[in-house]
């Protein structure tokens, strides 16, 4: 009789209050999970994008062909007196690669903004096959024009190209604009629109800023 009454009570409660029935069946802990709103931590969409971009590492955005004329001299002396001088004019044909290190991408101050790192000169090289000796000259008892003079010209040309690339704001602006385009394209492939996340470049640094 008690079992029948208890069963009837449960059925009666269930008929009038669905929540009470759930309480009796699943227990108070489970009911609390169903009734009390769950706190969900908000996820910033930029975090996933930044993580994927950082995994790419260095991104070359511009390759620029360049030329540099380098004169090299070699002098022969005896007891402090110049006996003659050899000159070599070398035309160095090189290539400068500029881009950014995506490992340094960071959040911007505003919502949905990521900031790209400053442009870097990633590589400078001399194409020895295209470079050439444009002229040679000797005065007096000049030393011979040796392969070492050409190698010296190549080293000097490489140094000049590196220094000029660091100060070339036009090259940096070109690399910067290309970086924004390429990063936006990478995000588009990943299904992220420009409306969701805005890519902002860093300021271009001149020689005075370095």
Read off the pLDDT band of 43 (50, 70, 90): low
Pairing of strands 58-78, 81-101: antiparallel
Q: How far is CA 195 from CA 48, 82, 148, 177, in A?
A: 16, 71, 58, 18
pLDDT at 51: 87
pLDDT, average across residues 30-50: 56
- Predicted TM-score (pTM) of the model is 0.68
135-186 pLDDT tens trace: 888 888 878 888 899 999 999 999 999 999 988 999 999 999 999 999 888 8
Between these two residues, 5 and 186, which has the higher pLDDT value?
186
Closest CA to 158 of 207, 121, 206: 121
Count CB atoms within 10 A of the CB of residue 57. Answer: 9
Q: Which helix (H) or strand (E) holds 23?
A: helix 18-26
pLDDT at 209: 55
Between these two residues, 55 and 22, which has the higher pLDDT value?
55
Between these two residues, 210 and 74, which has the higher pLDDT value?
74
């Amino acid at each position: 009789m008690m079992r029948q009454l208890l069963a009837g009570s449960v059925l009666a409660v269930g008929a009038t209050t669905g929540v009470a029935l759930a309480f009796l069946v699943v227990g108070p802990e489970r009911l609390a999970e169903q009734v009390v709103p769950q706190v969900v931590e908000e996820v910033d969409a930029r975090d996933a994008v930044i993580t994927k971009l950082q995994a790419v590492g260095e991104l070359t955005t511009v390759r620029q062909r360049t030329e540099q004329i380098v004169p090299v001299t070699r002098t022969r002396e005896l007891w402090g007196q110049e006996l003659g001088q050899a000159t070599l004019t070398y035309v160095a044909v090189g290539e400068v690669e500029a881009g950014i290190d995506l490992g340094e991408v960071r959040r911007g101050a505003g919502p949905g903004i990521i900031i790209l790192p400053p442009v870097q000169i990633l590589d400078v090289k001399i194409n020895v096959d295209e470079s050439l000796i444009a002229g040679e000259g000797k005065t007096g008892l000049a030393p011979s024009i040796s392969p070492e003079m050409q190698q010296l010209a190549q080293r000097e040309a490489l140094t000049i190209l590196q220094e000029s690339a660091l100060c070339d704001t036009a090259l940096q602006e070109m690399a910067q604009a290309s970086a924004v385009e390429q990063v936006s394209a990478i995000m588009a492939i990943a299904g992220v629109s420009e409306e969701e996340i805005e890519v902002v470049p860093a300021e271009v640094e001149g020689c005075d800023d370095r």
